[in-house]
Amino acid sequence: MTPDTAHTRPEHELLREQVARFLAREVEPHAAAWEEAGCVPREVLRKLGAAGLLGLAHAPDHGGAGADALTNLVFAEALSQSTFAGFVITVLVHTDMASPHLQHAGTPAQLARWMPGITRGETITAVGITEPGAGSDVAGLRTTARRGRDAQGDHWVLNGRKLFITNGVHGDLYFIAARTGEARHDISMFIVEKGAPGFSVGRSLDKTGWRCSDTAELLFDDCRIPADQLLGEEGQGFRSVMANFQTERIALGAMAVGHCQQALRLTLEQVRSREAFGATLWDKQTIRQRLAMLDAKTRAARSYLYHCAWLVDQGLDSSAVSQDVSLLKALTGELAGEVLHTCQQFHGGMGYMRGTPIERLWRDARILSIGGGATEVMLDDAARRY
Ligand SMILES: Cc1cc2nc3c(=O)[nH]c(=O)nc-3n(C[C@H](O)[C@H](O)[C@H](O)COP(=O)(O)OP(=O)(O)OC[C@H]3O[C@@H](n4cnc5c(N)ncnc54)[C@H](O)[C@@H]3O)c2cc1C
């Protein structure tokens, strides 16, 4: 086996093997049906939880493993060897994009109440930041939260709409960003349980790719939650959203790199066996060279990915790693598009057929340069830090 990156350790190989076995047994043979159904069965998430894979980076006292960012990255990259990115994002939103909000800002009581269910896969989480009028521009969000007090006690009342929320339909616990003051960055985070009065799931959204990942619109109409479901300090939500973006973007980078690796593997098999003009496609120099160049770019992006996780593990403040993470997100999102376009090209007409892994990966890759920070926004963020 080729030696791995400078940063990986022997135990990481065991984790990769564990995840590969899980994919081969529990995901790849079944997920075509999940794509039709538009969601990943809860049972599969519970099995991931039972295998100890839903709380790798969370604290051990609530069922997590207390692993470092590198180990967490190994998990995300291994999971992204699946040809069903909708399954991968369902899991990674729960582990790397939503629940870290609770892990980083939760009070001991909040952690004790919700984290065990999260790591077991019984409580599935979602994060609601994007709105119809505000995506890239997080500080433009308009959902409001007003503090109140009455005979039933101290509480918050939320009003507004969230859009494009992954795990929105089938989730149980939502971390919601809402405006708590007039200043542009006066935003706070809240914990909203499914079933809270005034909270409802609107449309389930129909997407180009990530078909087995559920994506929803969330509605807050005088949604009342107890005062102790403020997450973190009032007014610090913008800061915590920006800090959590580092974890989220490394996970999205891992998805991009994992899917590039898988697509190149599938394409190598295809061009070695497919014959045209009296020889295999692999015998055409142009095909060999283009695949080799895409492999070089994928390997380079992977090294940068591991470097970013290593930076996080040095205990630096999130602002100290954000330039690298923004560059990584831009690079990997664009690379996934380039690799999947060419890999699909080399599959010929079959690569355009619904249900083939390469067609699905191509559709699924499109969002990687938009979601979680569009390429232009990432490049601008990095450039402003030069
Ligand atoms: C399938 C899916 C799942 C998602 N899951 C979640 C989720 O779980 N939770 C959540 O909160 N959000 C989620 N999102 C939202 C996602 O993060 C946003 O779509 C993304 O941040 C872009 O915001 P927008 O769609 O409003 O695009 P806009 O902000 O309207 O931007 C549109 C385009 O304009 C360009 N652009 C924007 N700003 C600039 C700039 N400053 N300079 C140059 N060009 C610029 C970019 O090309 C960008 O793609 C999801 C989205 C999708 C599609």
Question: pLDDT digits over 302-361, tens only?
Answer: 999 999 999 999 998 888 899 999 999 999 999 999 999 999 999 999 999 999 999 999
**What is the token pair recorded at 298?**
């994928």
- Residues 254, 220, single domain; the answer is no
Mean pLDDT of 63-92: 98
Q: Where does a domain end: 194, 216, 235? A: 235
Q: Closest ligand 1 atom, CA of 98?
A: 8
- In whole numbers, what is the pLDDT of the chain averaged over residues? 96
- Residues 46, 98, single domain; the answer is yes
- Residues 261, 228, single domain; the answer is no
Which residue has its alpha carbon closest to ligand 1 atom 39? Answer: 377
Per-residue pLDDT of 129-188, as tens digits, reads 999 999 999 999 999 999 999 998 999 999 999 999 999 999 999 999 999 999 999 999
Range of the domain at 328: 238-384
Q: Closest ligand 1 atom, CA of 370?
A: 49
**What is the token pair recorded at 125?**
């989480």
Kindly state if the Cβ of 215 falls inside 6 Å of ligand 1: yes
Q: How confident is the model at residue 156, as a pLDDT?
A: 98
Q: How confident is the model at residue 317, as a pLDDT?
A: 82
User: 302 in a domain, yes or no?
Assistant: yes
198 pLDDT above the threshold of 70: yes
Distance of alpha carbon 50 from alpha carbon 55, whole angstroms = 10
User: 282 in a domain, yes or no?
Assistant: yes
Please state the pTM of the whole predicted model. 0.97
Task: Return all residues near 8 (Cβ < 8 A) that are at least 6 apart.
Answer: 70, 74, 306
User: 3 in a domain, yes or no?
Assistant: no
Q: How confident is the model at residue 353, as a pLDDT?
A: 97
**b/e for 189-214, b at 16 or more Cβ within 10 A?**
bbbbebebeebebeeebebebbbbbb
Question: What percent of the chain lies above the pLDDT cut of 70?
Answer: 99
Q: Residues 191, 237: contact at Cβ < 8 Å?
A: no
- Residues 118, 131, single domain; the answer is no
Mean pLDDT of 370-377: 98
User: Which residues sit opposite 35 in a β-bridge?
Assistant: none
367 pLDDT above the threshold of 50: yes
Mean pLDDT of 252-258: 98
- Residues 166, 206, single domain; the answer is yes
User: 5 in a domain, yes or no?
Assistant: no
For residue 310, CA distances in Å to 258, 303, 313, 315, 322 come to 18, 10, 5, 9, 13
User: Which residues sit opposite 131 in a β-bridge?
Assistant: 134
Catalytic residue among 131, 248, 334, 359: 248
Q: How confident is the model at residue 176, as a pLDDT?
A: 98
- Residues 202, 251, single domain; the answer is no
91 pLDDT above the threshold of 90: yes
Task: Name the band, by pLDDT with cuts 50, 70 and 90, for residue 257.
Answer: very high
Kindly state if the Cβ of 311 falls inside 6 Å of ligand 1: no
Tell me the H-state helices in 146-188: none
Kindly state if the Cβ of 204 falls inside 6 Å of ligand 1: no
Tokens 């102790």: give the residue.
228
Kindly state if the Cβ of 93 falls inside 6 Å of ligand 1: yes
Q: Which of 132, 125, 139, 237 is nearest to 192 (CA)?
A: 125
1 pLDDT above the threshold of 50: no
Q: How confident is the model at residue 2, as a pLDDT?
A: 53
Q: How many CA atoms lie within 13 A of 12 on its CB side?
A: 20
For residue 203, CA distances in Å to 102, 125, 165, 366 come to 26, 18, 11, 22
Q: How confident is the model at residue 4, as a pLDDT?
A: 75
- Residues 214, 259, single domain; the answer is no
**What is the token pair recorded at 221?**
């109409």
User: 2 in a domain, yes or no?
Assistant: no
Per-residue pLDDT of 267-293, as tens digits, reads 999 999 999 999 999 999 999 999 999
